[in-house]
Amino acid sequence: MEIDKKNFEAFTGLPPLKKNAIQLCGKEFVDSLRNQGIYTQDDEFWIEVNKKLNIPANAYAIQHANFKAEKERKREAEVARDKAERERLLANKEKIVTKNRKGWTITIFELPYSDKYGKKFIAECRKEGELQKTTSFARDANEAYTLGAKFVDDFQRIQGQIQEAKAKEKLLKNLYLILIYLSGEDEHNLYLQGYGYKHKMSKENFLGLSFWQELDLNIISELKLDRFLEMSKTKKALLMNKKGMKQARELLKKINFDGVETILKRREYHEEYINYQDPENL
């Protein structure tokens, strides 16, 4: 097997060649194998050589594991050196300028000297006085500010998406409750024994409202007839058109639910989309 050659090389540090087998095992041993019809191209040859030299069957695996461990050790040492160097540079930084951006402060600092990549500027991003981010090193003050601004913009965008998702969830929960309440039918336990109301619908055996876990297709059809909905260009889904969007936004403005104001504000650009008219159609 190929592994036997790898074990030989890993243990001896020599390539699996005939001359190296002779050097380590002796010519007499190698000739004895040849007399048995076992040659260097045969797996059996290297199995016998390894036995002669007491080479472990996992020599290559041990070498590979040691190589990985040494590589990881060097990587960790380099990371530690870079961290120590970064901390030393940051401890002696000098403030250059502070700029405001979207309610944040971005302060640019110059380091006492450049790092190994020729970079000596950084930016600190603070929100309400609390440090949120120290950027990576930059080649100049403008690059440092760009890094800080990108962090702020990305952070604000993600927070906006999270806020919108939470508001949408709150609103949808309330709307779903209304939809279920309006579409549900009274359900009673007509098999409840005792009290003389078996097979009768009463407050005593009332369970709640039952409903199908799907949209009412009749309502969907009505919305299509009202031209609030139409088939999408792909013909695989329904599309709420501008007329439907306008009606939905007007209805939402009249609903006092948690999340409505946030959703309307986040999607305020829809007003421009709805009112846009193609110049070619004017």
Look at strands 238-240 and 229-231 and give their pairing.
antiparallel
- Rounded Cα gap, residues 274 and 261, in angstroms: 19
- Rounded Cα gap, residues 48 and 59, in angstroms: 15
Residue 13 predicted with pLDDT over 60 = yes
- Hey, where are the domains in the chain? 2-61, 92-157, 165-281
Dihedral sign, Cα of residue 65, residue 69, residue 72, residue 78: negative
Burial 163-177 (b: 16+ CB within 10 A, else e): ebeebeebbeeeeee
Instruction: Give this prediction's pTM.
Output: 0.55
Torsion of CA 16, 21, 24, 29, to 10 degrees: 150
Look at strands 121-127 and 130-134 and give their pairing.
antiparallel
What is the edge-to-edge ordering of all strands in the sheet holding 130-134? 94-101, 104-110, 121-127, 130-134
- Rounded Cα gap, residues 249 and 171, in angstroms: 13
Predicted confidence band of residue 280 (pLDDT cuts 50, 70, 90): low
Contacts of 117 (CB under 8 A, 6+ apart): 137
Closest listed residue to residue 251, CA positions, set 163, 171, 181: 171
- Rounded Cα gap, residues 112 and 86, in angstroms: 11
Predicted confidence band of residue 187 (pLDDT cuts 50, 70, 90): confident
pLDDT digits (tens, 9 = 90+) for 81-127: 988 888 888 888 999 999 999 999 999 999 998 888 899 999 999 99
Residue 195 predicted with pLDDT over 70 = no
- Rounded Cα gap, residues 174 and 259, in angstroms: 10
